[in-house]
Amino acid sequence: MLRSFCDEVLSIVRQWTPKKRYRKNKHAKYCDELAEFIREKLRKMQQNVPFGVPEEHYVKREGGRSRADIEIDGRIGIELKVDLKGKTEMDRLMGQLNHYEDEYNCIIVVLCGEVREDTADELRYKLKKRYGATSMLAFGFGPQKPRVEIVRVKEKSQSRKKREMTEKTRSPLDIQFSPQSAKQFFDQATKWGRSLINQAKKGHSYYNTHHHLSLKNGEERGDKSENGA
- Return the minimum-mean-pLDDT range out of 38-42, 64-68, 105-109, 123-127: 64-68
Q: How far is CA 32 from CA 17, 59, 80, 171, in A?
A: 13, 11, 11, 42
Phi, psi dihedrals of residue 208, rounded to the nearest 5°: -60, -45
Confidence band, pLDDT 50/70/90 cuts, at residue 83: very high
Overall average pLDDT of the 127-150 stretch: 69
**Position with higher pLDDT, 131 vs 186:** 131
**Position with higher pLDDT, 10 vs 131:** 10
Which pLDDT value is given to residue 1?
A: 43
- Per-residue pLDDT of 200-226, as tens digits, reads 777 666 556 665 556 556 555 555 555
Which pLDDT value is given to residue 173?
A: 46
- CA 209 to CA 31: how far, in whole Å? 81
Contact 87, 115 (CB under 8 A): no
- Which region, left, alpha or beta, applies to residue 70 given φ > 0 means left and ψ of -120 to 50 means alpha? beta
Task: Give the CB-side neighbour count of residue 72, counting CA atoms within 13 A.
Answer: 30
What integer best gives the mean pLDDT of the chain? 78
